A and B are shown apart, each in its own frame.
Chain A
Amino acid sequence: KAGVTQTPRYLIKTRGQQVTLSCSPISGHRSVSWYQQTPGQGLQFLFEYFSETQRNKGNFPGRFSGRQFSNSRSEMNVSTLELGDSALYLCASSSGVGYEQYFGPGTRLTVT
């Protein structure tokens, strides 16, 4: 099976802009979770989608949003980018609640 894919892999944006990141889960996986990883805060949960519904949300401002499509692909959007949004954004997919989560390669976002 192909693994989790994320696009783009690298992105440079300017403060105030918005960005959309994409994630395609492992075939058959309906749960997609998003995480932010920074050197200072480590890996932090953003949100999880299952069958097109947001099932859980972490402690991030409303500028961070996401959605899931009927084919389980997911996108996350960050509006009004801030310097502190520079991070590695990771997507993970799972076949069910409590099951293993497999990460994609991540999108490295740099905000200047």
Chain B
Amino acid sequence: QKEVEQNSGPLSVPEGAIASLNCTYSDRVSQSFFWYRQYSGKSPELIMSIYSNGDKEDGRFTAQLNKASQYVSLLIRDSQPSDSATYLCAAPTGGGNKLTFGTGTQLKVEL
């Protein structure tokens, strides 16, 4: 089992809809989780971090963490074409600041 798993997509949503991205992880010790957005040819950009169970909202983004189910998700409300990118879920594993990344979910927001 991979340590961090995501559906690769592509996930297509119409403009203005809610995009829901999911991630599961295997290391129960992980205490923090991060969502990065990566545009083609660019480096990953941190968009959300979440450390405790429940929801965390930042603008159009909401991260949800359920440690009992080892599940973290990212909701993007009012999706825009500029949100079209690959979204990477990451969790610290193995100590220090080592992050293990999922393979990423490609999101396409269609006009």
Is A105 a contact of B99 with CB atoms below 8 Å?
Answer: no
Closest beta carbon of chain A to B54's beta carbon, Å = 18
Shortest C-beta distance, A11 to chain B (Å), equals: 16
Interface pair B101/A101, CB less than 8 Å apart = no
Q: Does A74 contact B (CB under 8 A)?
A: no
Near A by CB (< 8 A), chain B positions 62-111 give: 88, 90, 92, 94-104
- Per the bound structure, the CA–CA distance linking A92 and B34 in Å amounts to 13
Name the B residues within 8 Å of A42 (CB-CB). 101-104
Q: Which residues of A contact B (CB under 8 A)?
A: 31, 33, 35, 42-45, 48, 50, 55-56, 58, 88, 90, 92, 94, 97-106
Q: Does B1 contact A (CB under 8 A)?
A: no
Query: Could you tell me the distance in whole angstroms from the C-beta of B99 to the nearest C-beta in chain A?
Result: 6
Give the nearest-CB partner of A58 in chain B.
B98
Contact present for A56 and B95 (CB under 8 Å): yes
Residues of A within 8 A of B34 (CB): 100-101
- CB of A97 within 8 A of CB of B97, answer yes
4 shortest interchain CB distances as A-B pairs:
A56-B96, A43-B101, A55-B96, A103-B43
CB neighbours of B98 from chain A (8 A)? 33, 45, 48, 56, 58
Q: Is the CB of B88 within 8 A of A43?
A: yes
Can you offer 7 A-B residue contacts whose CB atoms are under 8 A? A33-B98, A55-B97, A94-B97, A98-B92, A99-B32, A103-B36, A103-B43
